[in-house]
Structure 1
């Protein structure tokens, strides 16, 4: 994309912010005396464009704008204003030239074929319950790959019969605005090297404590995010209604909206909090599409599925949002923890604050983990990478702690794009993050709710100091004797 096109795109994004901002429209225009004298002959309606962010988008600040106008004549200033007005008007919907909706072929006999379920009557009869896809007792590396090496469940009856604690489901939605390939995220995480087993930090094996299943993939119409999110919401609700915790593997971050909404359909609006790990704040608004991977936060909050004061952002950095985004979060009571805050206060302080905020009010918790919160050194396979992110040593403990200290209603991991990573590390680290949450849920199941819990077995060798010294001396003597032997 050329620099001019990038600039135009940025201008259009900014226009969407001020186009519906009534408060901005009401503010008074105050001009420097020299500028005020020059624009006396310019119609007031043209000067209204200076209420918008366009002047600052073009020249940085209003001071720089006024400075740039000092050597211009009134007619030149009016021409400049006309140019900004032209951009603003061209950005608006025009019923004579624009489609208000995207038409679909409702006469197509395949209209709903992408999500039609296979009738039970076409399947062999079986008792409900999870199905193991390997003939061997060791399910890792044998049989058919599944999330966490878990058995498969297909219907809600399987979840109920198996008394399933966690149902991991793929949602291969792939409508990101930059690099594409997120629909292969579930596939990559199923075939990744690390899919389960013991967590050495806590000596907890989630698969030994929890009933975990792979619930397959949710059907997606990758020609339409708007259509797909409705079906995702249905499936997430279906899992939650059985009492199982949905773990959703994306797919792009548009999924956060239907995942939160589906859980709210079961647990109630505003009944749980959200911790959103991301380099982007994803609360964009006023775009032509109501839902994209940059807008799920705004829509989930706007529709009341989660209360803004119970929404916490972690890991924000990069060039978006600007001041207006942070002001919107502040004005709505949301909490956020940027990488700038980490730089200022240190990770331990930020983590402690975020964990305390998540526990406030004793509400249940949903975690939305966008892998681009991690530094691209750890996850190069993501569509919108931003340098300067979390390390795995920072991410794993906070995810494990959140999932042990709080009653979880759901977890999602999104934006993994394995096509961008010729190595295995992106899928590997994504699996480690999901396993950290599974470990936390298992810890809580066992009554361990201290987020900083670490097993003594792996952190303290518990050997008497005298015994260690004696063994070291004995080892040195044996080495000396070995060296004294004639060499063959």
Structure 2
């Protein structure tokens, strides 16, 4: 039998530094009975987006972008060594949007019930997936507070289009899954929302910080104040990260890009700080369309957000 020299399995013929561990290597397939600090699942739904979106491809793109990083934080001189149990992606029917949102809730309810992880990371998908993710989370962990990084309120009515990526927090409020005072929105951008939804937020006690507030007070001060307040009122805190909170210069792969948003360092620093609180136990990352991204810039920010979340738990 002829031996072929220098041949390696597909995808493994790459340069490897013996002293370097890539962040992607932390991803380990989940098996029954496994328990770790972190669990991850993909929620590849984007057909409920009110604008064109290929966000269903984002879970894979974000996982791949983790190859761009090592597991070592030079800032804290700490290594991320704990595996991330990767549950894979939940199945999405090609046409059944309402059914898909039900599948997300059912699948996540089962995943959370495994108790396989203490901290959860969900990769969307458009922002409609947050309704199912948070509803399932609340069934497992009871009262939930939410830190929402977003340019938009996502409090649109459901009569004009059903449950879309613009409605998740309206639905959570109307279904009494969360209370308004336990929803904190950070990074709401000028000329990006309707007056009716601004008023709806105020009327329902939602705590809103605009980008002007972020520039004036700083994201760290806002987060310290709000997490301290929330942890007196709820059992756990969930971060919902809509990547369009970032300025278009930092997130070209978002369907709803625009100027005047947050820079990537501010966002990543905020994710790290929030994660240092043990009450913060979950994060979803939504609204990345890899088909329009530039050199995977947006997916790389998302992958870094995962590492900052993990770093905060050391």
Shorter chain as denominator, the TM-score bin is 0.7 to 0.9
Aligned residue runs from structure 1 range 89-488, under 5 A: 149-153=26-30, 158-159=31-32, 161-175=33-47, 176-192=49-65, 193-194=67-68, 197-206=71-80, 208=81, 210-243=82-115, 244=117, 245-268=119-142, 271-347=143-219, 349-361=221-233, 363-441=235-313, 443=314
- Runs of 4 or more above 6 Å deviation: 138-141
Q: 1:409 to 1:355 in 2, by over 3 A?
A: closer
C-alpha separation between the residues in 1 aligned to 2:24 and 2:123?
Answer: 9
SS at match of 1:418: coil
SS at match of 2:36: coil
SS at match of 1:170: strand
SS at match of 1:350: helix
How far apart are residue 235 of structure 1 and its match? 1.6
SS at match of 2:29: coil
Q: 1:221 to 1:337 in 2, by over 3 A?
A: same
How far apart are residue 275 of structure 1 and its match? 0.6
Deviations 1:303-348 (A, max 9, x none): 1212211110011114342333222222212101111223444555
How far apart are residue 149 of structure 1 and its match? 3.7
Q: 1:406 to 1:324 in 2, by over 3 A?
A: farther
Aligned residue runs from structure 1 range 13-92, under 5 A: none
How far apart are residue 140 of structure 1 and its match? 9.6
Q: Assess if the C-alpha contact under 8 Å between 2:121 and 2:283 holds in 1.
A: yes
Structure label with greater radius of gyration: 1
Structure having greater relative contact order (Cα 8 Å, sep ≥ 6): 2
C-alpha separation between the residues in 2 aligned to 1:358 and 1:205?
Answer: 30
C-alpha separation between the residues in 2 aligned to 1:362 and 1:351?
Answer: 15
How far apart are residue 252 of structure 1 and its match? 0.6
TM-score by length of structure 1 reads 0.56
Greater per-residue strand proportion: 2
Other-structure match for 1:89: none
The RMSD of aligned alpha carbons is 2.7
Gaps of 5+ in 1: 1-133, 444-488
Q: Assess if the C-alpha contact under 8 Å between 1:139 and 1:149 holds in 2.
A: no
Q: Assess if the C-alpha contact under 8 Å between 1:185 and 1:417 holds in 2.
A: yes
Deviations 1:282-310 (A, max 9, x none): 01114344310000000011112122111
The number of equivalent residue pairs is: 296
C-alpha separation between the residues in 2 aligned to 1:140 and 1:398?
Answer: 31
SS at match of 2:310: helix
Q: Assess if the C-alpha contact under 8 Å between 1:371 and 1:382 holds in 2.
A: yes
Q: 1:342 to 1:151 in 2, by over 3 A?
A: closer
Greater per-residue helix proportion: 1
Q: 1:213 to 1:196 in 2, by over 3 A?
A: farther
SS at match of 1:253: coil
C-alpha separation between the residues in 1 aligned to 2:222 and 2:243?
Answer: 19
C-alpha separation between the residues in 2 aligned to 1:356 and 1:139?
Answer: 43
Other-structure match for 1:51: none
How far apart are residue 147 of structure 1 and its match? 5.4
How far apart are residue 217 of structure 1 and its match? 0.8
Gaps of 5+ in 2: 1-10
